[in-house]
Amino acid sequence: MTTRYTFGGDEHLFVECSDEMSLEAFFKGLSMAKGVRESGIKGVTEICPANASFQIKFNPDIIKPDDILREVKAIEGAAEKAEPVIKTRIVEIPVFYNDPWTHETLMRFRERHQEPTGTDLDYAAKINDYSSVETFINAHSGSPWFVSMVGFVAGLPFMYQMVERQRQIEVPKYLRPRTDTPKLTVGHGGCFGCIYSVRGAGGYQMFGITPMPIFDASQSVSYLRDFMVFFRPGDIVKFKAIGREAYDQAVEDVDTGKFSPPIREVSFDLREYQKDIDGYNAKLEGMLYGH
Amino acid sequence: MAIKVLHHGLATTVQDLGRPGYFHLGIPVGGAMDRLAMRAANLLVGNDEGAAGLEAVFMGPKLEFTEDALVAVTGADMPAKVDGVVQPGWTAFKVKAGQVLSFDFLKSGARIYIAVSGGIDVPVALGSRSTYPIGALGGYKGRPLAPGDELPVGAGSLASEGRALAEEYRRKPGTPAALRVLPGLYWDRLTDEAKDNFFADEWKVAPEADRMGYRFRGGRKLSFVERKQPFGAGSDPSNIVDSCYPYGSIQVPGGTEPIILHRDAVSGGGYFMVGTVISADMDLIGQLQPHTPARFVKVTMEEALAARAERAGLLERLRASLN
């Protein structure tokens, strides 16, 4: 894992911790981003963590590009030695898989897809060697996911599946991006899952929809009153498959302010996780459901 | 005091100098695409540079004023008219209660900035009045203007009409437009031949050009250095593990059509970037029309910083000239 530094014009320093995705690369980026924030380097205006990289926006009238490069490089060593442990939270997100709205949309854009017959779920199950859509959904909702980046559009989480690499779901993006995706679609592209926070263009395969808003500019949703964006990098997500009835009920509960997602504070230790992934996940799930 | 929207033009939005600080959550800075023009319009009518005004692209709106106000229009060359009488650009003029501000056809450039004494007084969202339509955030109800909207206006100052800015502040794209680029980011994914072609070829602004990004066509397809794609990056050679995108960064999906991300940029994604348009040339992109020929000009960091200092100097002179 070699860290690469490069400038994005005269206002951005771009730091790539690894060219391939891994939780190690994510943790290194997160740790370095934290180090930059805590060191209070003058002229830094924004720090954006991403999956295996991060970006710093700076004001070159205040700090010269060479100087910020030197200061950030100096942080790398300490960040590498930092304990890969974060205090975070685990949240349960209900998903109505194979729902009518993403189904209608995927049919509308079928000519842009790898497989003109069948659905995105059929295709993803097949190329990931699952015997049926049902077993694929079981795998998708069976393990937790790590939010490794928030962005693209407002509040959209990129999620990394917490299983061994050979078990991770991988799918290509649409051949040509769609011009429409229903709000709150649960999608997947490359090795990343996502939830579309707003309606709009998109290229990820569509698996289902959640009734739980994750971005609300009006801040009227009860759990988004303090801040309009739900997710933060480092959050852990556990999907729960629900049917139409539970979906409709949840939508109604959101509208009446009664919906509150199950959330627990947890500490995540990358080394412990790597020693026994399934065991560690079971423990996390135990904390989420309080048993 | 209010402004009634009789016609919205093509896409007219409330903008100021943007909302920095939320890109890490996917919310872009937004704000005027041509920031110097926005600042100038505000200064001409006695506002703070960061007051909210209107940005209109390609076609002007039709606005009725309920009270007297001082107005200035900067940016593109699109003559303003008050009850049909043409007003000079980059100059403060009066609009009386009941009068209608409308616009002639666009002559050059792409975006005008309309400042009104007192500023457009929509609620501040995350520190800015800029409109971010995708997130329904800021501006007037989080969206571009529509007929029937009534825009609140703040209390104006006592700036006098007739103040004008000299030609030197009115920046226009050349033919072809020259956009200075600092190579970097994933530049080394390209073959030497592609690196040369990128700067040698003449490109054209594509119709897909908006506040999120400007697409270009017409140059040769870029070829990639061969590699085994890293895990998580996706199968196309132009794919990377999804990363942040700098403002002004140039991504080239599939190696075919460069896209420069602008003020309403998506904050990240999975396409490699060849470099970044320097900060001094970002305003200029906002004044490019579709089909405009354009060239990318390779610069060093030193040249980028010198160009930035030159723009800062111009802004200082602009401020001083109105004092």
Residue A81 predicted with pLDDT over 90:
no
| Averaged pLDDT, A162-188 | 93
Q: In A, which residues are within 8 Å of B306 by CB distance? A: none
Mean pLDDT of chain B: 96
Chain Cα centroid distance, residue B199: 23
State pLDDT tens for residues A207-254.
999 999 999 999 999 999 999 999 999 999 999 999 999 999 999 999
Q: In B, which residues are within 8 Å of A114 by CB distance? A: none
Q: In B, which residues are within 8 Å of A11 by CB distance? A: 246-248, 279
| Both tokens assigned to B154 | 């703040």
Answer whether A151 sits within 8 Å of B267, measured CB to CB.
yes
Nearest Cβ partner for B20 among A46, A47, A200: A46
∠ CA A209-A213-A219, nearest 5°, is 165
Tell me whether residue B228 is exposed, middle or buried, using C-beta atoms within 10 angstroms of its C-beta: 0 to 12, 13 to 18, 19 or more.
exposed
Residue B235 predicted with pLDDT over 90:
no
Mean pLDDT of chain A: 95
| Averaged pLDDT, A168-178 | 90
Residue B82 predicted with pLDDT over 70:
yes
d(C-alpha A53, C-alpha B244), whole Å: 8
Q: Tokens 């997100």 belong to which residue?
A: A93
Answer whether A155 sits within 8 Å of B246, measured CB to CB.
no
Residues 154-193 of A with CB under 8 A from B: 154-156, 158, 165, 172-173, 189-192
Nearest Cβ partner for A150 among B24, B301, B308: B24
How many percent of chain A have pLDDT more than 70? 100
Q: Any bridge partners for residue B306, and if so which?
A: none
Ranges of H-type helices in chain B: 35-44, 192-200, 282-285, 301-321
Mapped onto helix, strand or coil, the DSSP state of residue A124 is helix
Nearest Cβ partner for A50 among B142, B244, B304: B244
d(C-alpha A92, C-alpha B175), whole Å: 56
CA distance A58 to chain B (A): 11
d(C-alpha B261, C-alpha B249), whole Å: 6
∠ CA A181-B110-B72, nearest 5°, is 115
d(C-alpha B323, C-alpha B310), whole Å: 20
Confidence of residue A96 (pLDDT cuts 50, 70, 90): very high
Residue B68 predicted with pLDDT over 90:
yes
Residue A1 predicted with pLDDT over 90:
no
d(C-alpha A102, C-alpha A183), whole Å: 9
CA distance A291 to chain B (A): 33
A150 touching B (Cβ < 8 Å): yes
Residue A184 predicted with pLDDT over 90:
yes
d(C-alpha A228, C-alpha A216), whole Å: 5
- Looking only at the bridges linking them, the beta strands covering A205-209 and A44-49 are unpaired
Nearest Cβ partner for A150 among B26, B187, B239: B26
A269 touching B (Cβ < 8 Å): no
Nearest Cβ partner for B26 among A10, A151, A191: A151
Answer whether B233 sits within 8 Å of A19, measured CB to CB.
yes
| Averaged pLDDT, B256-285 | 97
Other C-beta atoms within 10 Å of A79: how many? 20
Other C-beta atoms within 10 Å of B312: how many? 13
Q: Where are the domains of chain B?
A: 2-169, 177-313
| Both tokens assigned to B128 | 């800015």
Question: So what's the pLDDT on residue A86?
Answer: 94
Residues 183-242 of A with CB under 8 A from B: 189-192, 197-198, 200, 215, 217-218, 228-229
DSSP A210: -
State pLDDT tens for residues B191-216.
999 999 999 999 999 999 999 999 99
A43 touching B (Cβ < 8 Å): no
CA distance A63 to chain B (A): 12
Chain Cα centroid distance, residue A236: 9
Residue B52 predicted with pLDDT over 70:
yes
Q: In B, which residues are within 8 Å of A217 by CB distance? A: 125, 135-138, 142
State pLDDT tens for residues B134-177.
999 999 999 999 999 999 999 987 678 899 998 888 888 888 99
Question: So what's the pLDDT on residue B306?
Answer: 98
The complex's ipTM works out to 0.96
| Averaged pLDDT, A152-176 | 94
Nearest Cβ partner for B23 among A7, A46, A218: A46
Interface test with A, best of B27, B244, B271, B276 (most A CBs within 10 A): B244
Interface test with B, best of A55, A158, A160, A165 (most B CBs within 10 A): A55
Q: Which residue of B has its CA nearest to A48?
A: B24
Q: In A, which residues are within 8 Å of B277 by CB distance? A: 9
State pLDDT tens for residues A18-67.
999 999 999 999 999 999 999 999 999 999 999 999 999 999 999 999 99
Question: So what's the pLDDT on residue A291?
Answer: 65
Residues 73-132 of A with CB under 8 A from B: none
Q: Which residue of A has its CA nearest to B251?
A: A8
Lowest mean pLDDT among A170-184, B45-59, B293-307: A170-184
Question: So what's the pLDDT on residue B171?
Answer: 82
Q: Where are the beta strands (DSSP E) in chain B?
A: 2-7, 12-15, 53-57, 62-65, 69-77, 80-82, 85-87, 93-95, 100-103, 108-116, 150-152, 177-183, 203-209, 213-217, 239-244, 249-251, 259-261, 268-271, 273-277, 293-298
CATH 2.40.100.10 fits B177-313, yes or no: yes
| Averaged pLDDT, B234-247 | 93
> Which domains does chain A carry?
4-82 (3.30.1360.40), 87-289 (2.40.100.10)
Q: What is the DSSP string of A34-52?
A: HHHHHHT-TTEEEEEE-SS
